[in-house]
Amino acid sequence: MKALYGHNTAAIKSKWYSAFQSPEGAPNQLATQDPKVHAGIRRRFAPAFKMTVLLRQEGAMQNCLDKLWQSLEKPALDGTVIDMCHYTETVTWDIIGQLCYGEPLGSIAGAEGMNLQGILNSLLTASTIFGHVWGQLFWLDNPLTRLLGVKNPVQESFEWSSMKVRQHVEADRSGVEPDMVDYFLSYKDAQGKPTTHLEVVEGAFAVTTNPAVIQKLREEVDAVDSDEPLSYKETQKLPYLKAVVRESLRMYSSVPAQLYRIVPDSGLSVDDHLIPSGTVVGISSLAQNRDTAIFGQDATTFNPDRWLGDESQARYLEAALFNFGGTGPRSCPGRDLAMLYKFVAQMVKRFNFELVDEAHPFSVRTYFFAMQSNMRMKVARREQHVKFRGQSAETLL
């Protein structure tokens, strides 16, 4: 894995990534193949992704989570079967939008009523598929498609992002908590937006389908003497919660597709087999993260305890994980956005969850990201003294 994705690797991204290029041709972090250009963009983006910056925005993130918990109150009371994927996807886009643009993306239509969440999903799907086709996005954006009025999700997404940048430039932002666009602008780089995500669906599935895990996790979370929502710093003091999150990321990567690289001039040796230079190769996180040589004979089993043993062993396993859009210098800078800790901790403290069909827990369509749907669940409120921001516990019990 390090030979392809590690620091100082000579393997560059394949041309498949060109399908993620912006319509204006400006380089962005995902599409560019040039390591030097990528490094320059990454340096300019880095300040916006520092944990100190993200913690200053934790209140906005908590507001999104509070809306999620409030929206689950009604089905929890009347026993309605819900698609948990809809709720988790919505809160994911809301948090991303709140941190990046200062407004939610999942629960609003977006600029002039357009379905921004749907457009972004279409963008990922189209770019992933057409990356394998000769001409790539030419088939979506050419004189004929423009004449016929075919909507190009790449163009629509770019136009919306450009509009938000212009609004930030033109508005008086004094006294407003900076979002990521403000940080990008301060470093003179507003050509793209972060390609981060939260793996909340996998976290919900992993916890709710393992009774022993959820019992142990609840004991740890309930022991926190507070009826306020757990903060990120508080979650970092809960070893079993951290183990559950690590195991969720290992078992259920949000980017299961291979991340293609071009074998360098020196070739690539794998188990005494020499792969010639110029060959396009990749590794799937599903294979890497379930390798029995690394994670043991129970590598296909959800087992948080594997992270609770010797600290050196935990560091070894952590180094072998392949998630959050990759590893090494080309990895996604949004890894610190993984507030999965807050989601899982608050979810198990507030609600009981039951899968309606354990034999078919949810559906997955994989393009670049794994897109889950149809996780049918029943939820029930736990009798715990928890509250939403600004509300007393008694109003909810």
Residue-by-residue DSSP string for 264-331: -TT-EEETTEEEPTT-EE---HHHHTT-HHHH-TTTTS--GGGGSS-HHHHHHHHHH---TT-SGGGS
Q: Which of 32-36, 142-146, 189-193, 230-234 has the lowest mean pLDDT?
A: 189-193
Q: Give the pLDDT confidence of 95-152 residue by residue, as tens digits.
A: 878 887 888 877 654 444 556 677 777 777 888 888 888 888 777 777 887 787 777 7
Task: Please give the pLDDT value at position 69.
Answer: 94
Task: Please give the pLDDT value at position 18.
Answer: 86
- Residue 31, in any domain of the structure: yes
Measured in degrees and rounded to the nearest 5, phi and psi for residue 262 equal -100, 125
Task: Please give the pLDDT value at position 154.
Answer: 73
Task: Please give the pLDDT value at position 7.
Answer: 77
Task: Give me the mean pLDDT over the 155-171 stretch.
Answer: 79
Measured in degrees and rounded to the nearest 5, phi and psi for residue 241 equal -60, -45
pLDDT band at residue 392 using 50, 70 and 90 as cut-offs = very low
Task: Please give the pLDDT value at position 333.
Answer: 52
Residue scoring higher pLDDT (328 or 73): 73
**What is the pTM (predicted TM-score) of this model?**
0.80
For residue 197, is pLDDT > 70? no
Report how far apart, in Å, the C-alpha atoms of 194 and of each of 48, 190, 332 are: 10, 10, 8
For residue 332, is pLDDT > 90? no
- Residue 388, in any domain of the structure: no
Task: Please give the pLDDT value at position 55.
Answer: 80
Task: Report the number of distinct structural domains present in the chain.
Answer: 1
Task: Please give the pLDDT value at position 167.
Answer: 82
Residue scoring higher pLDDT (326 or 324): 324
Task: Please give the pLDDT value at position 378.
Answer: 94
Buried b (16+ CB within 10 A) or exposed e, 279-292: eebebbbbebbbee
Percent of the chain with pLDDT over 90: 24
For residue 376, the enclosing domain spans 2-381
> Residues 6 or more apart from 77 whose CB is under 8 A from it?
381
Task: Please give the pLDDT value at position 145.
Answer: 78
A 10 A CB-CB count for 161 gives 19
- Mean pLDDT (the chain, rounded): 79
Task: Please give the pLDDT value at position 109.
Answer: 43
Task: Please give the pLDDT value at position 351.
Answer: 93
Output the known binding site for heme: 332
- Residue 396, in any domain of the structure: no
Nearest CA among 22, 390, 391, 76 for reference residue 195: 22
Q: Given its phi and psi angles, is residue 296 left (phi above 0), alpha (psi -120 to 50 degrees) or beta? A: left
Residue-by-residue DSSP string for 13-53: EPGGGGGG--TT----TTT---HHHHHHHHHHHGGGG-HHH
3-state secondary structure 71-111: HHHHHHHHCCCEEHHHHHHHHHHHHHHHHHHCCCCCCCCCH
Residue scoring higher pLDDT (277 or 206): 277
Task: Please give the pLDDT value at position 334.
Answer: 47
Task: Give me the mean pLDDT over the 267-275 stretch.
Answer: 89
3-state helix, strand, coil in the chain (%, to 5): 50, 10, 40
- Residue 386, in any domain of the structure: no
- Residue 397, in any domain of the structure: no
Q: Which of 52-56, 80-84, 194-198, 324-328 has the lowest mean pLDDT?
A: 194-198
For residue 66, is pLDDT > 60? yes
Residue 21 has which token pair?
A: 């290029």
- Residue 393, in any domain of the structure: no
Question: What is d(CA 72, CA 142) in angstroms, rounded to the nearest whole number?
Answer: 44
- Residue 125, in any domain of the structure: yes
For residue 395, is pLDDT > 80? no
Q: What are the beta bridge partners of residue 365?
A: 371
For residue 214, is pLDDT > 60? yes
Decide if 74 contacts 80 (C-beta within 8 A): yes
Highest mean pLDDT among 44-48, 96-100, 119-123, 278-282: 278-282
- Residue 390, in any domain of the structure: no
pLDDT band at residue 338 using 50, 70 and 90 as cut-offs = low
Output the known binding site: 332
Task: Give me the mean pLDDT over the 144-167 stretch.
Answer: 78
For residue 295, is pLDDT > 90? yes
Percent of the chain with pLDDT over 70: 83
Question: What CATH code is carried by the domain that includes residue 346?
Answer: 1.10.630.10
Q: Which of 39-43, 115-119, 127-131, 213-217 has the lowest mean pLDDT?
A: 115-119
Nearest CA among 65, 85, 82 for reference residue 354: 82
